[in-house]
Chains A and B, each alone.
Chain A
Amino acid sequence: MSATGIGAPVRRKEDHRFITGQGRYTDDINRPGQAHAYFLRSPHAHATLKKIDTKAAAAMPGVLGIYTGDDLAADKVGGLICGWMIHSKDGSPMKAGPHPALAQGKVRYVGDHIAVVVAETLAQARDAAEAIVVDYGVLPAVTDTASAAKAKTQVHAEAPDNTVFNWHLGDKAATDAAFKAAKHVTKLDIVNNRLVPNPMEPRAAVGDYDQGEGAFTLYTTSQNPHVARLVLSAFIGIAPENKLRVIAPDVGGGFGSKIFIYAEETVCVWAAKKVGRPVKWTSDRTEAFLSDAHGRDHVTHAELAMDADGKMLGMRVHTTANLGAYLSTFSSSVPTYLYAPLLSGQYDIPAIYCEVDAVYTNTAPVDAYRGAGRPEATFVVERLVEVAARQLGKDPAKFRTQNFVRKFPHQTPVIMMYDTGNYSASLKKALETIDYKGFAKRRRDSARNGKLRGIGFSAYIEACGIAPSAAVGSLGAGVGLWESAEVRVNPIGTIEVLTGSHSHGQGHETTFAQLVSDRLGVPLENVSIVHGDTDKVQMGMGTYGSRSGAVGMSAIFKAIDKVIAKGKKVAAYVLEADEADIDFKDGNFSVKGTDRKLDFGSCALQAYVAHKFNGQDLEPGLKEGAFYDPTNFTFPAGVHICELEIDPDTGVTRIERWAAVDDFGNVINPMIVEGQVHGGIAQGVGQALLEGARYNADGQLVTASFMDYCMPRADDLPSFEVGMTVTPCPSNPLGIKGCGEAGAIAAPPAVINAITDALGHEDIAMPATPQAVWRAAQKTLSRMAAE
């Protein structure tokens, strides 16, 4: 392994600009003549818009334009779309209500967009928005997930019973039979709490229109600028693709929430032409809480059937998933194909049946948030398994081992074909890391200090590298999920790699360069990664679902293969040898069995000067592109163990130790991978202990700032002990599985399993705040007193 090649903990190339304040985020961009947009948002969760009077507002100082849904409709600007079609059990397509970028006739959640004011300054735009008079016909709101289908209020006329779809997966008859044959059944009711993603950079957009060219440019906080351009062109109809450039510069975190195409960027880019000026909008934090797509929000009943020995026989799950007031871009895929296919976990379960009812409510749209469906599935599986072990009186580690999948490939009853893994190896290493043997003593020590200590396991699996295009197409996706790459070798051997992946914290500029440096034998500093601009990179599908390594880098790998193949042709001419006799190794083309060689940079120069070959026989230049379509999902898996201590007097839970052992397949940069694990665990711990988005019965979001919504802070968390096991992924050339979401998937059940272990009962929900834990601990104490 070289110091900068595959497997080396190379320090990040992108860091210099971030640590010196030279990052370039969307809000840092200012265009000449730029005006500012402010959105008038609904203060009501559900209301008809009887009249919107903008007359007084339009006369306010600095106002350049005020637009409503009618103006968008008059310009034939289409509504926002959901790009994944789900069919109900009965074969009917999901019931998608209209989703105009600015409301038409009705608002459906607090924060819904009523009008935009464009003015010289933001303060002027805001003042004018306050002068818009809206006559609302306030309607009752529906906010509760579990009862939405029974509510009298209807969010969309198109969706009776507020039901988007009643979907299912698996073999019901086989599962029912498994339950009949079972000796033991564990049942659990589970709420997966609603979360707000909260990347630290709020969303922003700058729309610009070039009148001479008739072309738009949109700078925006996107994880997938090409998908944004595709949707804005093909569906919303802003402009054809060749007249719309989308640039996602430095993006300050996404976690899913910046995948989607929102109203604000749509309106900004359209309004730039309307007012003839660049238009900028930057979300403030409260707007982010109100209008960024939220995550999770499931209500589930789950059952696990086992034989007398504790061998798992079947699993039955019913989930109600809240999708909010409108179907966001990929919302429908999250509680369906990103959820139910993961219900087999790491276990050999012969029969699984899952039903999912998706509902509309008067709340912000819900879509993918770090893990997207897989954390919800893992929480169901790992809570069920832990409780089953307790009920059977079995050690949770041994019970898991007993039921682990051991032979690969393994076909689960819910679509997935696990390609490889070694689940026992990760568990064993995690048990050693946490010193499982010493836990009983540590628990006694805690008890002596009046504290309750618990240990909780989470053996998670996820499906990443999404995914073979034909497979996702057959499941309802509106797009293919390949990735593209172009490797441009310059005449003196420096390299630009254009990738359709997008980095918003993942460090692609470093890891992707490591791959190129490793394979082409060029110094790391000679490689630049270009991403996030539809004028530079032809097409791409972006970054989410831990796909940039497995899919994005595989595309680069494939393009590098082509560069090497072309280089061999050039070298054959220069070295006057047969092409078949040319080897490429460590940055040199050489003739087999001789000492004649040509270094990579010289080969590039020869390719461009084209003196040594006839341009009719071989094209000059050295630039190759590739599209890589995955052949399977990838299956990162691992075991996280959380050990914590509860103070029953205060309800405060302190995480004492955290062992994470993950199998991500081959790793390019272990430093970056560990960083991804740390961040994921923190978000998962946030879900388990601190975070919860709450709407009241009127549909007001009562947790709409960092004062009310508890974000994990440094002193809420311990340092983590992170380790790895490796089974290389057989389905891509680099053997990579993906690591971006693992921590967020693994952590919540580990925490709750540890808390319930400490408490000695299962009566606690997420977030397990000090108040909730204190209440639960009183129950524990009174039981202990009774014994």
Chain B
Amino acid sequence: MANLSMTVNGKAVTANVDPRTLLVQFLRENLRLTGTHVGCDTSQCGACVVHLDGKAVKSCTTLALSCEGASVTTIEGLANGGALHPMQEAFREHHGLQCGFCTPGMIMAAVDIVNRRGNSLDEKTIREDLEGNICRCTGYHNIVKAIASGAEAMGKGAAPARQAAE
């Protein structure tokens, strides 16, 4: 067992964990933050995407101990109090989700795309940058629309809540 401390959604957390513990296990099982999902075991689907020090990572292939001292944001920490993050709002407005299982990872990946590529995203860029995320329900059509619109809204609005938390 090993000691671990990090900041998750703005709160300091410490724990004593098996060194094999993956970040996603730590989030889901120790912290009961079950919004981050596991959809595969080969790092292919992106259901587990969270932000580690502001960058998207697949928490299913990240050891919890490697995040010592880091700041992690999960889907639960994206909204700013009662106000949804513009990307969350865009997914709802554009029906970018059906069963909701891929959604937390999609939204976290989408915010990361905007952070990397800015607020004006064309369809091709969005589709290519979603390479690491699988959705079985939506056919991506509305996810692409949601991300384009969420990206624009992020540009208009205040700084994304995520950055405030980190």
Nearest residue in B to A286 (C-beta to C-beta)?
Answer: B41
A253-B101, A715-B130 as given contacts; A12 in contact with B135, CB under 8 Å: no
Whether B127 contacts A21 by the Cβ 8 Å rule is: no
Cα distance A28–B37 in the bound complex, in angstroms: 9
Q: Which residues of B contact A22 (CB under 8 A)?
A: 35, 76
Cα distance A680–B141 in the bound complex, in angstroms: 11
Q: Which residues of A contact B103 (CB under 8 A)?
A: 18-19
Whether A671 contacts B130 by the Cβ 8 Å rule is: no
Q: Which residues of B contact A506 (CB under 8 A)?
A: 98
Q: Which of B64-72, B89-97, B151-159 contacts A (4 or more CB under 8 A)?
A: B89-97
A678-B141, A711-B136 as given contacts; A14 in contact with B100, CB under 8 Å: yes
| Segment 702-748 of A: residues with Cβ below 8 Å from B | 705-707, 711-715, 717, 719-720, 743
B75 at interface, CB cutoff 8 A: yes
Whether B136 contacts A19 by the Cβ 8 Å rule is: no
Whether A714 contacts B136 by the Cβ 8 Å rule is: no
A429 at interface, CB cutoff 8 A: no
Contact digits for B26-40, partner A, Cβ 8 Å, 1 yes 0 no: 001000111111111
Interface of A is mostly: loop
Whether B142 contacts A678 by the Cβ 8 Å rule is: yes
Residue from the list B93, B99, B141 in contact with A200, Cβ < 8 A = B99
Number of interface residues of A (CB under 8 A): 57
Whether B134 contacts A713 by the Cβ 8 Å rule is: yes
Q: Which residues of A contact B95 (CB under 8 A)?
A: 11-12, 671-672, 674-675
Cα distance A53–B63 in the bound complex, in angstroms: 35
| Segment 248-293 of A: residues with Cβ below 8 Å from B | 250-253, 255, 284-286
A714-B126, A717-B140 as given contacts; A201 in contact with B41, CB under 8 Å: no
Most chain A CB inside 10 Å of its own CB: which residue of B18, B44, B107: B44
Cα distance A683–B91 in the bound complex, in angstroms: 21
Whether B92 contacts A682 by the Cβ 8 Å rule is: no
A21-B104, A251-B99, A706-B40 as given contacts; A720 in contact with B76, CB under 8 Å: no
Q: How distant is A747 from chain B, measured CB to nearest CB, in Å?
A: 10
Q: Which residues of A contact B104 (CB under 8 A)?
A: 18-19, 21
Whether A200 contacts B101 by the Cβ 8 Å rule is: yes
Cα distance A250–B95 in the bound complex, in angstroms: 17
A12-B92, A18-B100, A505-B137 as given contacts; A714 in contact with B41, CB under 8 Å: no
Nearest residue in A to B35 (C-beta to C-beta)?
Answer: A21
Cα distance A504–B131 in the bound complex, in angstroms: 24
Nearest residue in B to A197 (C-beta to C-beta)?
Answer: B136
A448 at interface, CB cutoff 8 A: no
Cα distance A250–B39 in the bound complex, in angstroms: 15
A507 at interface, CB cutoff 8 A: yes
Whether A202 contacts B39 by the Cβ 8 Å rule is: yes
Cα distance A286–B123 in the bound complex, in angstroms: 32
Q: Which residues of A contact B141 (CB under 8 A)?
A: 675, 678, 717, 719-720
| Segment 166-204 of A: residues with Cβ below 8 Å from B | 198-202
| Segment 124-154 of B: residues with Cβ below 8 Å from A | 124, 126-128, 130-131, 133-144
Q: How distant is A644 from chain B, measured CB to nearest CB, in Å?
A: 16
Interface of B is mostly: loop
Whether B139 contacts A706 by the Cβ 8 Å rule is: no
A96 at interface, CB cutoff 8 A: no
Cα distance A123–B18 in the bound complex, in angstroms: 11
Cα distance A635–B35 in the bound complex, in angstroms: 39
B8 at interface, CB cutoff 8 A: no
Cα distance A707–B44 in the bound complex, in angstroms: 7
Cα distance A202–B45 in the bound complex, in angstroms: 12
Q: Which residues of A contact B57 (CB under 8 A)?
A: none
A15-B92, A20-B79, A679-B137 as given contacts; A715 in contact with B98, CB under 8 Å: no
Whether A253 contacts B99 by the Cβ 8 Å rule is: yes
Q: Which residues of A contact B37 (CB under 8 A)?
A: 25, 200-201, 252
Cα distance A714–B91 in the bound complex, in angstroms: 16
Whether B101 contacts A706 by the Cβ 8 Å rule is: no
B74 at interface, CB cutoff 8 A: yes
B84 at interface, CB cutoff 8 A: yes
Whether B99 contacts A21 by the Cβ 8 Å rule is: no
Cα distance A21–B141 in the bound complex, in angstroms: 22
Whether B36 contacts A21 by the Cβ 8 Å rule is: yes
Cα distance A648–B127 in the bound complex, in angstroms: 23
Whether B76 contacts A253 by the Cβ 8 Å rule is: no
A396 at interface, CB cutoff 8 A: no
Cα distance A594–B126 in the bound complex, in angstroms: 60
A16 at interface, CB cutoff 8 A: yes
Q: How distant is B13 from chain A, measured CB to nearest CB, in Å?
A: 16
Nearest residue in B to A253 (C-beta to C-beta)?
Answer: B99
Q: Which residues of B contact A620 (CB under 8 A)?
A: none
Q: How distant is B40 from chain A, measured CB to nearest CB, in Å?
A: 4
Q: How distant is A696 from chain B, measured CB to nearest CB, in Å?
A: 20
Nearest residue in B to A706 (C-beta to C-beta)?
Answer: B44
Q: Which residues of A contact B138 (CB under 8 A)?
A: 675, 678-679, 682
Q: Which residues of B contact A19 (CB under 8 A)?
A: 75, 84, 88, 91-92, 97, 100, 103-104, 107
B16 at interface, CB cutoff 8 A: no
Cα distance A30–B140 in the bound complex, in angstroms: 32
Nearest residue in B to A252 (C-beta to C-beta)?
Answer: B101
Q: Which residues of B contact A284 (CB under 8 A)?
A: 40-41
Whether B74 contacts A21 by the Cβ 8 Å rule is: yes
B47 at interface, CB cutoff 8 A: yes
| Segment 1-45 of A: residues with Cβ below 8 Å from B | 11-12, 14-25, 27-28, 30
Cα distance A12–B142 in the bound complex, in angstroms: 14
Cα distance A25–B124 in the bound complex, in angstroms: 32
Nearest residue in B to A24 (C-beta to C-beta)?
Answer: B34
Nearest residue in A to B128 (C-beta to C-beta)?
Answer: A715
A681 at interface, CB cutoff 8 A: yes
Cα distance A682–B127 in the bound complex, in angstroms: 14
Residue from the list B33, B45, B99, B107 in contact with A706, Cβ < 8 A = B45
Cα distance A104–B166 in the bound complex, in angstroms: 55
B56 at interface, CB cutoff 8 A: no
Most chain B CB inside 10 Å of its own CB: which residue of A15, A19, A199, A284: A19
Q: Which residues of B contact A30 (CB under 8 A)?
A: 32
B102 at interface, CB cutoff 8 A: yes
List the 8 closest A-B pairs by CB distance, nearest first. A21-B35, A252-B101, A18-B100, A505-B99, A682-B139, A678-B139, A21-B75, A505-B98
* B residues with CB within 8 A of A: 18, 20, 28, 32-42, 44-45, 47, 74-76, 78-79, 84, 88, 91-93, 95, 97-104, 107, 123-124, 126-128, 130-131, 133-144
* A residues with CB within 8 A of B: 11-12, 14-25, 27-28, 30, 123, 198-202, 250-253, 255, 284-286, 504-507, 671-672, 674-675, 678-683, 705-707, 711-715, 717, 719-720, 743
A-B contact pairs, 11 of them (CB 8 A): A19-B84, A20-B84, A21-B78, A23-B101, A200-B39, A252-B100, A504-B99, A675-B138, A711-B44, A713-B130, A715-B124
Known A-B contacts: A18-B100, A201-B99, A713-B134. Give 4 more (CB < 8 A). Answer: A20-B78, A25-B101, A679-B98, A715-B130
